[in-house]
Homo-oligomer: A and B are copies of this chain.
Amino acid sequence: MTDVVPWLETEQTPFLLIDQQRFLTNVERLQKHISALGCHLRPHLKTLRSVDAARYILPTLSSPATVSTLAEAEAFADAGYTNLLYAVGISANKLDRVRALLERGVQLHILLDSIAQAQVVIDYGRKHGVSFSVFIEIDCDDHRGGLPPHSPLIGHIAQVLHDNGMRVTGVMSHSGGSYDATTTAEIVHAAEQECAAIRQAAAQIRQLGMDCPILSVGSTPTAHFAEDLSNITEVRAGVYTTFDLVMYNLGVCTLNDIAMSVVTTVIGHNADKNWVLVDAGWMALSRDRGTASQHKDFGYGLVCDKNGIPLENVCVTKVNQEHGVIALPNDYTVQDFPIGTQLRVLPNHACATAAMHQHYVVETTQHQREIWPRILGW
């Protein structure tokens, strides 16, 4: 165990720390797994929303990537990235910005799952002389949006788009249901289910004589447990670069793989209650309680010592805006955590915790300090 690097001890708390070595290991792990299955990654960049992180996640500027907002698409386009899927259902008010990106030479794919949206896209495309590249969203597990894979609407929408000069580039599904798995067998099954759904949807479009070149599946759990990606062209995953406690509970990673923590300082005690107060509240940790419904509930995060070593059963149990309360288990007393002590908190949900920060402090593989700014807003 090495001691914490000196610059970390004087950084103003709270702040979000990324362990670059773990981050790179996580990136490589999924890259290798998906390559071995003969498939490609289209990483979802929404977790960190960082151009600096994308440098390591994406092999080249033309590598496929996924974004959750047009703000990300614009910022990654500014950084030179050219192949982006905006994976949230499109609406009319977003099309001016999509068009502006297309006119800059970015291949920006949009997503929809209804005739109403297809018509909006067609009308806009006709008015402005634009041919949009469209993915149709497929619902593989009755989880959120998308059309069921057997729905005849899939072929109908594709046909209408195609007949009106739009390109039906692909079908995509997100196995959000895999987050509710309680065994790895269930994740393996979810992976099979999303592939089956997306193959069925693509077949329907191809039977009508259209190409539909991209079959896109993904979620971090299913990406790691997928065993057969035949006929699937790409896999999307986001949180795998840093992982978090939800992924740990799902068996996708170990605690030592988690590359993100919030560094905080002890600012008070309540000895009667055996409570330690820290300067990381929900503003730094987020309000996410993703582990609440899993087999191990980590409250608002698992507490580690200043070197990042997890303290068993020590969790942030309550949060206010700028206060975190650690109700200690019986084998600790507040004297174990003197005021001024630096601690780290592993996040329930890396996307939600990262979203509370405007930049990340990165401990590089050489233990140097780097700052990675986050792309903000919509």
Residue A89 CB within 8 A of the other chain:
yes
CB-defined contacts of A7 to chain B, threshold 8 Å: none
- From A33-41, A208-216, A318-326, A362-370, the one touching the partner chain is A318-326
Task: Decide: A376 near B358, CB < 8 A? Known: A113-B268, A145-B270, A322-B88.
Answer: yes
- From A10-18, A98-106, A157-165, A225-233, the one touching the partner chain is A10-18
CB-defined contacts of A120 to chain B, threshold 8 Å: 339-340
Choice from B68, B117, B283 contacting A321 with Cβ under 8 Å:
B68
In the assembled complex, the Cα of A251 lies from the Cα of B319 at a distance in Å of: 24
Task: Decide: A282 near B356, CB < 8 A? Known: A88-B322, A145-B270, A268-B89.
Answer: no
CB-defined contacts of A356 to chain B, threshold 8 Å: 355
Choice from B93, B270, B288 contacting A10 with Cβ under 8 Å:
B93
B340 touches A12 (CB 8 A): no
Question: What is the 8 Å Cβ interface bit string for chain A, positions 258-287, against chain B (1 contact, 0 not)?
Answer: 000000011111100000010100111011
B144 touches A323 (CB 8 A): yes
B267 touches A88 (CB 8 A): yes
B14 touches A322 (CB 8 A): no
A245 to chain B, nearest CB (A): 15
In the assembled complex, the Cα of A97 lies from the Cα of B318 at a distance in Å of: 27
A279 touches B91 (CB 8 A): yes
Interface size class of A (residues with CB under 8 A): 35 or more
Task: Decide: A93 near B355, CB < 8 A? Known: A323-B144, A339-B116, A339-B117.
Answer: no
B338 touches A378 (CB 8 A): no
Choice from B92, B117, B277 contacting A145 with Cβ under 8 Å:
B277
Residue A90 CB within 8 A of the other chain:
yes
In the assembled complex, the Cα of A321 lies from the Cα of B120 at a distance in Å of: 24
Among A46, A68, A117, A339, the one with the most B-chain Cβ atoms within 10 Å of its Cβ is: A339
In the assembled complex, the Cα of A277 lies from the Cα of B378 at a distance in Å of: 17
Near B by CB (< 8 A), chain A positions 267-312 give 267-270, 277, 279, 282-284, 286-289
Residue A6 CB within 8 A of the other chain:
no
Can you list 25 residue pairs at the A/B interface with Cβ under 8 Å? A12-B378, A14-B378, A15-B378, A68-B321, A89-B267, A89-B277, A89-B279, A91-B266, A91-B339, A93-B265, A114-B268, A114-B269, A114-B339, A116-B339, A117-B268, A120-B340, A144-B277, A144-B318, A144-B325, A145-B270, A145-B323, A282-B355, A286-B287, A287-B287, A287-B352
- Measured CB to CB, the residues of A under 8 A from B are 10, 12-15, 46, 68-69, 88-94, 97, 113-114, 116-117, 120, 139, 144-145, 176, 265-270, 277, 279, 282-284, 286-289, 318, 320-323, 325, 338-340, 351-352, 355-358, 376-378
